[in-house]
Structure 1
Amino acid sequence: MPGPLLRHVDALVGVGVLVWNLTASQFGELSQQLDQGLDRARDFVTANLPITDAQLDKLVKQTRDGLSGSAPDPVGGARTAAEVFGSILLALVLLFFLLKDGRSMWRWVLRRMTGPNRELTAAAGRAGWRTLGAYSRGTMVVAAIDAIGIGLALVLLRVPLALPLALITFLGGFVPIIGATVAGTIAVLVALAANGPTTALLVLAAVIAVQQIEGNLLEPLVMKRQVQLHPAVILVVVTAGTLVAGIAGAFVSVPIAAVAWRILDTVQRHRAADSA
């Protein structure tokens, strides 16, 4: 692995370890605050909407029963954890070799191609790689800006647990649309539990403002047109990835779809040029 790239990876790992050490001890308190926020939201719903406590309890019970019915047994959970750990280890090993020998591996693939397929494969591969790089860098920048903006609003409004909430916002930024919605909801519920409805409304306004700036200004500027997908396509892709591979599928489904679309678009353009 080249020296500069290794230093960048070490820096990212160091920052990740530092942030985790600062926030890991606060997630238990975050869970308690989230439960209190849900209870206050429940009281608000039953007091201001035409729904009784019994109806709401029945709805919550049905939801919990559905989730518990789909939960795996302990043996299956242990097997799933082992598979996840093995998948992460395999991904890290493959990432190391791709960073170290990716260029020579791609040249080996191209040498196996003959005629016009070689040029087409090279162009499609370059387009897909550029799209993946642009998506990864852009998503990280946008997620960091979201986390900083919402985290700063939480600090100014004196909402407790601002750092773990900012971390959740950062991680949620890697799951388009759905991740930001879930992270914003958690921040609002914690603000409701800790400081009351006025602060919760201010946090909601801050979340909406940051996400509007991100969606209408930063994301088009950072991502540009190279990785743009329609929101409907993103929702379908994220849902399909979640159903197929769980949380990991939600994270990787959009970049896979963006790369696949860019490769198909490049192939179509080359074939259209050859026909012309």
Structure 2
Amino acid sequence: MARRVVEETVDDLGVPRGMRIATAWSWRILVVVGASAVVIALVVVFEEIVVPLLVAMLVSALLAPTVATLGRHRWPHWLAILVTLVAFAIVVAGLVVIVVWQVRSGLPQLERESVAAYDRARGVLSAPPWNVSDAQLASWINDLGALAQKDSGVLIGGAVKVGGTLGHLLAGALIALFATIFMLIDGRGIWNWIVRIFPRAARPAMSAAGGSGWSTLTKFVRVQIVVALVNAIGIGAVAFFLGLPLAVPIGVVVLFASFIPVIGAIVSGAIAVVIALVYGGPVQAVVMLAGVLVVHLLEAHVLQPLLVGGAVKVHPLAVVVGVAAGTAIAGVPGALFAVPLIATVNAMVTTIASRSWRGSGQTRTASTTHPAPRPGSAGE
């Protein structure tokens, strides 16, 4: 019996079984890491095309349930898509107009308060025990500006590369618009065309994975809208009750920033804290900071576990790490698309690994393998 155990743990070359298992896992991990690096490199090279397509996927996942609902009420498909797109454009344009109007009306007052706050801070620092001269204060401000510019370079780098010129912005917007329209018109056909690229034996698995991934993406977009609205209303309400200028723009900024889970609300809330400090003083800033922290705790301990976690099945730690990695790789676009990408890939891999698409063991067609909605058919 002892000799048999030794033969099972050591091969003919004397390599222990544990080492064989470690090497088998190692080369597989290296292959996965290498393939991921190639994909990331290709995305970075073709980001002017990839980013608009990813935006189109998010918008399509948001609008597809509305199109499907109108279709169930016997609306023609083309009319349902047209009405949904126009309504979405009106909502976005309305938010932009409100922000511009509020900023134009409140900016003069904010500028006056900024100058007054700077004078108060300079008076405090120039008095004992600080005794800071105007030259030292100016040097500190210049150093702080240089540091902020350096650190923000990584954050905004992706956005600058994608839309460095008006032409790039226009081209990206057109790609996103047309891709959204085609996804809403024939998303199922687009995915079936992609599935046909794979070997015939792999098509049922890919079809099922696509259905699971699209269903997860639509759930993520719906839930993230709820989270963003809660963050925007909460932080905007605190700014309004404190009598801060630009309360409505603050809420809109928080709304859009909250599509970057966890981190977005904190970063945008910091803007409200700065405005409270400049306009109202330290007490208002502390109250505003407390409001931002309360909203963040509500998101982290209630909304994320109950809504986001239940919808996308991704641990909050993976969300934070994914956002950080996406920011480092592609700036703002990376932070925006990191979590939906992780959630979608997780759902697709889980579906393939579960082998639920095999049914009774016989290979089935894509249409009978998985009843989950395909791209462009969510909610049908």
Q: If the length of structure 2 is used for normalisation, what is the TM-score?
A: 0.60
Describe the shift of the 1:254–1:224 C-alpha distance in structure 2 as closer, same or farther (beyond 3 A): closer
RMSD of aligned residue pairs (Cα, Å)? 3.9
**1:19-34 counterparts in 2 under 5 A?**
19-27=95-103, 29=107, 32=111
Q: Is the 8 A contact 2:277 2:285 kept in 1?
A: yes
Could you say which residue in structure 2 is the equivalent of 1:91?
Answer: 176
Match of 1:260 in 2: 345
- CA change 1:239–1:100 in 2 (3 A) is same
| Residue pairs, 1:4-153, within 5 angstroms | 4-27=80-103, 29=107, 32=111, 39=118, 54=136, 56-57=140-141, 59-60=143-144, 62-64=146-148, 66=150, 79-110=164-195, 116-153=201-238
Unaligned runs of 5+ in 2: 1-76, 362-380
The residue type equivalent to 2:333 in the other structure is A
Change (3 A) 1:145 1:124: same
Distance in 1 (alpha carbons) for counterparts of 2:271 and 2:141 = 21
Q: Distance in 2 between matches of 1:96 and 1:13?
A: 13
Instruction: Give the secondary-structure state (helix, strand or coil) at the position aligned to 2:173.
Output: helix
How much does 1:7 deviate? 2.5
* Separation in 2, partners of 1:4, 1:220: 34
1:160 to 224, 227, 245: 245
Residues 138 and 219 in structure 1, CA contact (< 8 A), matched pair in contact too: no
Deviation at 1:5, TM superposition (A): 4.2
- Which one of 175, 192, 203 corresponds to residue 277 of structure 2? 192
- TM-aligned CA deviation for residue 118 of structure 1: 2.3
Can you list the C-alpha shifts for 1:194-225, whole angstroms capped at 9, x where unaligned?
11221221111111112212222223333243
Q: Mark the CA change 1:34 to 1:13 in structure 2 (over 3 Å): closer, same or farther.
A: farther
| 1:152-207 superposed Cα distances (whole Å, 9 cap, x missing partner) | 22222211111000011001101122211111110111111111221221111111
| Structure with greater helix share of residues | 1
* Unpaired runs of at least 5, structure 1: none
Which structure would you say has the larger Rg?
Answer: 2
Is residue 40–residue 193 contact of structure 1 (8 Å, CA) maintained in 2?
no
Post-superposition shift, 1:25?
Answer: 3.5
SS at match of 1:94: helix
Mark the CA change 1:107 to 1:267 in structure 2 (over 3 Å): closer, same or farther.
same
CA-to-partner distance for each residue in 1:248-270, whole Å, 9 max, x for gaps?
22212221122112212222222
- Residues 134, 227 of structure 1: 8 Å contact kept: yes
Q: Return closer, same or farther for 1:2/1:148 CA change in 2, 3 Å cut-off.
A: farther
Is the partner of 2:310 in helix, strand or coil? Answer: coil
Letter in 2 for 1:16: V
- Report whether the alignment pairs 1:269 with 2:354: yes
Superimposed CA distance per residue, residues 46-69 of structure 1 (whole angstroms, 9 cap, x where no aligned partner)? 79xx99964844741541563698
Structure 1: how far apart are the matches of 2:119 and 2:356?
A: 60
Number of aligned residues: 270
Shift of 1:111: 5.2
1:54-86 CA distance string (max 9 Å, x none)? 4844741541563698899xxx89854432332
Contact 1:38-1:189 at 8 Å conserved across structures:
no
Query: What fraction of aligned residue pairs are identical, expressed as a percent?
Result: 30
* DSSP-derived class of the 1:187 partner: helix
2 CA distance for matches of 1:86 and 1:266?
A: 36
C-alpha distance in structure 1 between counterparts of 2:262 and 2:117, whole Å = 22
Aligned counterparts of 1:99 and 1:139: Cα–Cα separation in 2: 20
Q: 2:173 corresponds to which letter in structure 1?
A: I
Distance 1:258 1:80, change over 3 A: farther
**Judging changes above 3 Å, is the alpha-carbon distance between structure 1 residues 240 and 113 closer, same or farther for their aligned structure 2 residues?**
closer
The correspondence for 1:177, drawn from 262, 266, 281, is: 262
Letter in 1 for 2:150: G
